[in-house]
Amino acid sequence: MNSSNPIATHPTLNYLSKCQTLCSLKQVHAQMITTGLTLHTYPLSKLLYLSSTLALSYALTIFNKIPNPTIFLFNTLISSITTNQKSHTLLAFSLYERILCNKTIKPNSHTYPSLFKACGSHPWLHHGLALHAHVLKFLETPYDSFVQTSLLNFYANCGKLLVARYLFDQISDPDLATWNSVLSAYASCYSSSYYVSNSNVSSEDSGLPMEALYLFNEMQNSLVKPNEVTLVAVIGACANLGALSQGIWAHVFVVKCNIKLNYYVGTALISMYSKCGCLDLAYQLFDQLPERDILCYNAMIGGFAIHGYGHRALELYEKMKIQGLVPDDVTFVVTMCACSHVGLVEKGCKIFESIKEDYGREPKLEHYACLIDLLGRSGRVQEAEEKLREMPMKPNAILWRSLLGAARIHGNLEVGEVALKQLIELEPETSGNYVLLSNMYASIDRWEDVKRVRKLMKDHGIHKMPGSSLVELNGATHEFLSGDKTHPCTREIYLKLEEVGRRLQQYGHKPRTKEVLFDIDEEEKEDALTYHSESDCHESTKLISVVYGREIIVRDRNRFHHFKNGTCSCLDYW
């Protein structure tokens, strides 16, 4: 609206923007009626938007009395509802339906972004596909950048990153918002379940953070200048890859480009340094932030959790509450995770109970996942199974896998078999589930049962993916599969492995062969374990830290292990 237009600059509109209560709004509304402002679209849009934030029913009363509302007014009200009144999404769609039924107006480029935003979560996700069809029907190409970005965001939220990427690639000159949308989608999709134990991350998913870094490289070759949202996505990708060198580069980029170190950037950096093994740097950054919100505390508590510093995590949790900050869903997850990794079972259970007792909320699926993990790790496998069956919602595969893992560690074959039966129904093609139970059978020499499980895998056409490890050296990340011989330095690597093996034997190390899944002789098992076995790797690395006088930091799916002088920071509680 042109600022020189006398209607747009009418003094009554200034009073309207200052209304804080419904009473004051009604007074200004009365003034607008007497001055004739309500006969014009722009003042009406301002009135509708503000009234919908203060009292939605009043806004609807105003809207329903407008003889022939324009598409601009429909869009204004839909936008306000999807932004400020998210619990009334159904109302936004009913307004859209009125547009479709109106023969004098039709939806335009400003109608769809708000509606796609409303479709970003359950139970509205399926409406987004119908809206996409309507975009094709009602809008002419090329589409407005806001429409393209909202479509991209919708498919990213649905987890359909291939579609989101296709849409991104169709945009000839993506703006900053579009770049940020696709970067954030790649960076965040992988990390959503990072702190929930036994989450099943596929090799395809693990490539998403790397794709985010490739895209950022493309962005730097464009004329679009990154902002703090861009860097949060890039730093998040570095965190999920454990790529410290690239993460430090991103931090330097933030400083050199004078990008504001706000809550979001600060939180991303804390998380990155924690996930890359530099807990001291993470805490130093946390301590230097002038102000800290709940996101900053969550990142730092999560950092202590994955490094096995449960007591420090709990201290920070209590400090956060003293500061007057109210824990959110993530706070409960990371704090219970911290308790789980060091065996603080009663503390963790108390935090779980506080969700409802102290904060009046119902625990969510991820909170039950932490509880099952907490009880299972401590050996209270039967109690973990009982809690899982008493849950008000249906347990997912992550919870059953957590229970199966606990049953394997503590030798509860009965619970392990029950958990596997559930997992086969939920995830019949996931090899790791079968392998966990096979390990249990192998540990007690039940080789016929091992063969039965392997036959079950074969009958379902399931193949075990080889174990893999990532090592960062001089800024480059090297990936190794079990028995891998594709690396350019393969000869030197295997010679070194043989040397390490000999020195370990000199120190009296005997490989733990119980969990090798084949009924083969001990020498063959030891050879299989030389190149990859998670449990034997843990024992070997403790001894390697003594033999070579080195501190070794290793990250597995759930946490960091700091090996020094023959001990591990996890105290073998993993």
CB 19 within 8 A of CB 49: no
User: Which of 363, 387, 402 finishes a domain?
Assistant: 363
Task: Tell how far CA 501 is from the center of its chain.
Answer: 38
Supply the CATH number for residue 457's domain: 1.25.40.10
Strand pairing class (476-481; 468-473)? antiparallel
Same domain, 238 and 326: no
Give the structural domain span for 503: 468-568
Which pLDDT score is estimated for 433? Answer: 78
Secondary structure (DSSP) of 381-449: HHHHHHHHHH-SS---HHHHHHHHHHHHHTT-HHHHHHHHHHHHHH-TT-HHHHHHHHHHHHHTT-HHH
Q: For residue 464, what is the DSSP state?
A: P
Same domain, 475 and 461: no
Same domain, 511 and 454: no
Same domain, 326 and 282: no
Same domain, 359 and 369: no
Which pLDDT score is estimated for 480? Answer: 82
Alpha-carbon span 406 to 412, nearest angstrom: 8
- 150 lies in a domain? no
Report residues of the chain scoring pLDDT below 50.
1, 192-193, 197-204, 517-532
- 16 lies in a domain? no
Helix (H, G, I), strand (E, B) or coil at 205: helix
User: Which of 465, 489, 508 finishes a domain?
Assistant: 465
Secondary structure (DSSP) of 78-92: HHHHHHH-GGGHHHH
Tens digit of each residue's pLDDT (9 = 90 or more) over 420-467: 889 888 888 788 778 877 877 887 888 888 888 888 888 878 877 777
Which pLDDT score is estimated for 385? Answer: 95
Same domain, 212 and 271: yes
- 232 lies in a domain? yes
- 296 lies in a domain? no
- 93 lies in a domain? no
Which pLDDT score is estimated for 141? Answer: 84
HSE of 510, CA atoms in CB hemisphere, 13 A? 3
Please say whether the dihedral angle defined by the alpha carbons of residues 386, 390, 391 and 395, taken in this order, is positive or negative: positive
User: Which of 266, 291, 316 finishes a domain?
Assistant: 291
Which pLDDT score is estimated for 482? Answer: 75
- 555 lies in a domain? yes
Same domain, 385 and 456: yes
Which pLDDT score is estimated for 535? Answer: 59
Alpha-carbon span 292 to 183, nearest angstrom: 25
- 48 lies in a domain? no
CB 552 within 8 A of CB 541: yes
Alpha-carbon span 142 to 171, nearest angstrom: 9
* Number of Cβ atoms within 10 Å of the Cβ of 324: 6
Structural domains in the chain (count): 4
Tens digit of each residue's pLDDT (9 = 90 or more) over 329-372: 999 999 999 999 899 999 999 999 999 999 999 999 999 999 99
Same domain, 549 and 495: yes
Same domain, 178 and 271: yes
Same domain, 372 and 311: no
Alpha-carbon span 84 to 574, nearest angstrom: 44
φ and ψ of 108, to 5 deg: -130, -170
Same domain, 187 and 279: yes
Same domain, 277 and 187: yes
- 177 lies in a domain? yes
